[in-house]
């Protein structure tokens, strides 16, 4: 075989490994694939409704810091802050 043929074969092997089922990438190496339809059903059963807003970057940093300080997820922290703010 020529050197170029060897390089082509190596490239094909690499591409095959990348496209193989079960191959992981850096972003989702440890997380299992969640079916969006199932996740939506779970959220609806909990009474959750998607609510998209745009916030100032400093406010988002404060919310993230508060969530990590409390040890809970961002959704729960934002919900708690909103409830306290609306009740006040």
In the chain, the percentage of residues whose pLDDT exceeds 70 is 83
Distances (CA, A) of 83 to 3, 36, 49, 61, 87: 67, 28, 15, 19, 6
Give the domain range for residue 86. Answer: 50-88
pLDDT at 58: 95
Q: Does residue 43 fall inside a structural domain?
A: no
**Residue that the structure tokens 């850096």 belong to:** 26
**More confident position, 40 or 14:** 40
Please provide the DSSP assignment of 32-58 as one string.
PP--HHHHHHHHHHTT---------HH
**Residue that the structure tokens 């934002």 belong to:** 78
For range 35-64, the mean pLDDT = 91
Q: Which DSSP symbol is given to 29?
A: S
Give residues with Cβ within 8 angstroms of 48, minimum separation 6.
Answer: 75
pLDDT digits (tens, 9 = 90+) for 25-36: 555 555 667 788
Say yes or no to pLDDT of 84 above 60.
Answer: yes
Q: Does residue 31 fall inside a structural domain?
A: no
Q: Does residue 75 fall inside a structural domain?
A: yes
Q: Does residue 82 fall inside a structural domain?
A: yes
For range 37-49, the mean pLDDT = 90
């Amino acid at each position: 075989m020529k050197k170029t043929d060897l390089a082509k074969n190596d490239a094909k092997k690499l591409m095959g490994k990348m496209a193989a089922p079960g191959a992981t990438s850096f972003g989702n190496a440890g997380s299992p694939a969640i079916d969006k339809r199932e996740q939506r059903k779970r959220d609806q059963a909990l009474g959750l409704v998607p609510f998209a807003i745009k916030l100032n970057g400093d406010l988002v940093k404060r919310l993230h810091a508060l969530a990590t300080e409390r040890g809970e997820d961002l959704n729960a922290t934002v919900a708690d802050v909103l409830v306290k703010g609306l009740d006040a």
